[in-house]
Amino acid sequence: MAKKKKSSGPQTIQNVEQTLTKTEQFLEENYKSLLTGLTVIVALVGIFWLARIYIHKRNDEAQSQIYQAERYLEMDSINLALYGDGNYLGFLDIADEYKFTNTGNLALYGTGICYLHLGEYEEAIDFLNKYSKKDKVIGSLAIGATGDAYVEMGDYEKGISKYLEAADFASNSFNSPIFLMKAAELYELNNSYAEALKIYERIKSEYPESTEGSSIDKYISRVKLLMK
């Protein structure tokens, strides 16, 4: 014979009432703290969204300025690209006036490239290092340009290091072989033929269909002769 299930109705109601009483007491005792916390959260969310709207607006303004600077850079009008023409800002002012925007960040890269062209290598390195490398392609170009600056200053070791870093950062069949070739050629200039050979063989293995990869056999043959 099945046992009769005990009724738990009154006890359950009592437990619920006790829980509600405790909750009410907690709310009464912590009302001000909870209200303050909620107010802070709402305020932070509001500030966050206002900041996003403001930065988005500033970024649009910066984009309207940087277009002309990029055109000047393409035309090799380096001073105009860097300092502006009186109507449009140059990379230097865009980077300064539009901080925290994507376009302001891109202007740091442009500034570094301009200084590199002007032969002001320490300034170039400084701005290229400030550029936040979110984009793989431009990021690798920035690292590689830093390598160019070090080479121009006679520091081949740092130049090679930056070229290899740029190749690894890009990890694509266009940028990577270019920087690997630069590193290998510097190793050759330094008579480090074994290191150069490793890089040439890496290009042949990893990027055979690239422009550099299509003619890499002659570099491999040359460096092997030099090693004898």
Q: Which two tokens stand for residue 52?
A: 């996003």
Question: Residue 227 phi/psi, 5° resolution?
Answer: -75, -15
Q: What is the C-alpha R_g of the chain?
A: 31
Q: What is the pLDDT of residue 13?
A: 52
- Residue-level pLDDT at 39: 65
pTM over 0.75: yes
Give buried/exposed letters for 102-113 (b at 16+ CB in 10 A, else e): bbbbbbbbbbbb
- What is the four-CA torsion angle of 99, 102, 105, 106, rounded to 10 degrees? -140
Q: Is the dihedral of CA 86, 75, 155, 177 positive or negative?
A: positive
Q: Which two tokens stand for residue 147?
A: 């390598």
- pLDDT for res 40: 61
CB neighbours of residue 213 within 10 Å: 19
Give the pLDDT of residue 59. 82
Report the pLDDT value the prediction gives residue 14, as an integer from 0 to 100: 52
Query: Which residue ranges in the chain fall short of pLDDT 50?
Result: 1-7, 16, 48-51, 54
